[in-house]
Amino acid sequence: MLKKLLFPMILVVLLVSFSLSQSQLSYATLEGLVTSKDRIPVEGAKILVLGTDCTAISDEEGKYYIKNIPVLGEEEKFLIEVIEPNNNARVVSNTFSIRSGLNKIDFQISLSLTFGNYYGDFRWETPFSVKETRDANYIISGISSYAPRNNIYLLKVDRYGRKIWGRTYLINKDFTNSYVIEDDKGYLISATSNNGDIHLLKTSTDGGFLWEAVYGRPDSVETVNSVILTDTGDYLVVGRIKTLDKDGKNYMMDALVIKFDKNGHKLWDVIFGEKGDDEFSNAIQARNGDFILAGTFDMSRLSKGVIYRIDKDGRLIWNKKLSGEGPVRGERLIPTDQGYLVGGYAYKDLRHGFYLAYFNDKGDILWRKNYNKKGMKIFLTTISMVKSNFIIGGYTLEDEIFSPYIMLTDLKGEMLKKIVKAGLNRVVRSAITTKDLYSVFVGFVESEKDRNIWIYKTKF
């Protein structure tokens, strides 16, 4: 009899307790701001309220908003975690008291200096060069598709991968490339327009347009492939020039070098070439003020890589050729303490690959190595240096998929490390070594619908 009475009583107590607990369940809203240690908004940070399915991601202003957080009673403690966006690392894991209604919590977090980010303001963007700025940020030049033409585009990103600004320059021309350098007053962009002229655009440090200069002959087509700042504050541009032959029927292409003063006025130009199609791809300044140039001659036949040395007035000092069993191109140059490294495309052993060659001030080749792999096409697009190592950037092409290719070698060209990010449809176009010895690679990622700028920062 007692058991029969106790069971209904227990059931009533449980039902009352459940009813009371349900009546004490309320909901909270959490909002706030996520900033870095330097108090700049952080976009893409994940805020997680553990024990619930309530999450948020901070927007470009660093703001986040989470609603419908279940709170038992007037106030409840929750473990909250914040995941920073660069490397998806947990940077906050603390317990916070959340009350029914609106709660505001701001987070100041650390950001990783390594990252892989995408930047896309238009349907189609292609980067061509990256430089480290005086304020330890990165300036990237390229072209963007903005109907009905391709325009010059400049993007500035901070050392954490956050976009500072982007500028599009709406000149009434269609452009095919653009390269940027920094001087003491801002940025200088050199670009090629579709009507066959080379344009110089000078901007302020915030990307504001200052002036434009145009180089072009009425009977020729010019293309820029690289621009550097000289030790006197002038600009040296290298590329190619196409002119009609004597019969006026066919174009002949020769390698072109132009020197401009700091106001964009031409100081001199020189043309080098042989019987075939020739061009210069890259330039650096030697320790004594001369210029070292890399290029490709006889492009329409069995091409040869070339290195040229000219003086400060464009006069030839020496030139050397780098040939092989197949086509060879001279594409990228960097200086070292003792000499220079040149690299480019090389077809060897029936494979598409690249070579590196180390030479001295006289142009003597001290060593040369080829790099290729059976069944994979490998292309070099950039060379940089960190400590006592060379870093090669480029891409592979396999099964119609572009994949980033990054290789670390010692000073003799022996491979130490290789990174191939397969199946990503990304291409490395330019790279730098920063003052704090990070490597920054810039390229693009492509889909059927668009192409975006891709930046990958790492440390070897």
Q: What percent of the chain has pLDDT over 70?
A: 95
Q: What is the pLDDT of residue 148?
A: 75
Over residues 320-337, mean pLDDT: 95
Residue 177: per-residue pLDDT? 96
Distance (Å, whole) CA 26 – CA 101: 8
Amino acid in position 242: K
> What confidence tens digit (pLDDT) does each residue in 370-388 have?
999 888 899 999 999 998 9
Q: How high is the pLDDT of residue 24?
A: 86
Q: What is the DSSP string of 376-412?
A: BEEEEEEEEEETTEEEEEEEEEETTEEEEEEEEE-TT
Higher-confidence position of 219 and 328:
328
Nearest to 238 by CA among 254, 253, 225: 225
Using a 10 angstrom Cβ sphere, with 0-12 exposed, 13-18 middle and 19 or more buried, the burial of residue 150 is buried
Mean pLDDT value across the chain: 91
Average pLDDT rounded to a whole number, residues 104-109: 97
Domain boundaries, the chain: 23-109, 117-458
Q: Tell me the per-residue pLDDT of 422-448, one tens digit each, with 9 for 90 and over.
A: 777 889 999 999 999 999 999 999 888
Per residue in 14-24, pLDDT (tens digit) is: 443 444 345 58
What confidence score (pLDDT) does residue 217 get?
85
Whether residue 389 is predicted with pLDDT greater than 90 in this model: the reply is: yes
pLDDT of residue 1: 45
If you write DSSP's letter for every residue of 289-317 in order, what string do you get? S-EEEEEEESTTSS-EEEEEEE-TTS-EE
Give the tens place of pLDDT for each residue, 225-251.
999 999 999 999 999 999 987 777 788
- pLDDT tens column, 408-422: 999 999 999 998 877
Q: 117-458: which CATH topology?
A: Neuraminidase (2.120.10)
DSSP 328: B
Q: What angle do CA 129, 314, 390 make, to 5 degrees?
A: 40
Query: Considering only CA atoms, which of 269, 274, 253 is closest in space to residue 216?
Result: 269
If you search the block for the tokens 């020739």, which residue do you land on? 278
State the average pLDDT over residues 203-231: 95
Question: How far is residue 371 CA from its own chain's centroid?
Answer: 24
Residue 10's pLDDT is 46
Lowest mean pLDDT among 94-98, 129-133, 148-152, 261-265: 148-152
What torsion, rounded to 10 degrees, do the Cα atoms 253, 257, 259, 265 define? 0
Does residue 159 contact residue 137 with C-beta atoms inside 8 Å? yes
DSSP letter for 41, please.
B
| Cβ within 8 Å of residue 26, ≥6 positions away | 70, 71, 73, 74, 100, 101
Q: What is the pLDDT of residue 424?
A: 78
Q: Is the pLDDT of residue 146 over 50?
A: yes
Is the pLDDT confidence value at 224 over 80? yes
To 5 degrees, how large is the angle CA 145–CA 151–CA 153? Answer: 95
Least confident piece of the model among 39-43, 196-200, 345-349, 373-377:
373-377
pLDDT on residue 17: 45
Does pLDDT of 283 surpass 90?
A: yes
172 confidence band (pLDDT: 50, 70, 90) = confident
- Tokens 């040395």 belong to 309
- pLDDT of the residue at 447: 85
- Give the pLDDT of residue 23: 54
pLDDT at 301: 81
Distance, in Å, from the CA atom of 335 to the CA atom of 452, rounded to the nearest integer, reads 31
Instruction: Indicate the burial class of 254 (C-beta count within 10 angstroms; 0-12, 13-18, 19 or more).
Output: buried
User: Which SS3 state, helix, strand or coil, does residue 424 take?
Assistant: coil
The domain made up of 23-109 is a member of CATH 1.10.260.40: no
Task: Give the pLDDT score at 170.
Answer: 86
Confidence of residue 363 (pLDDT cuts 50, 70, 90): very high
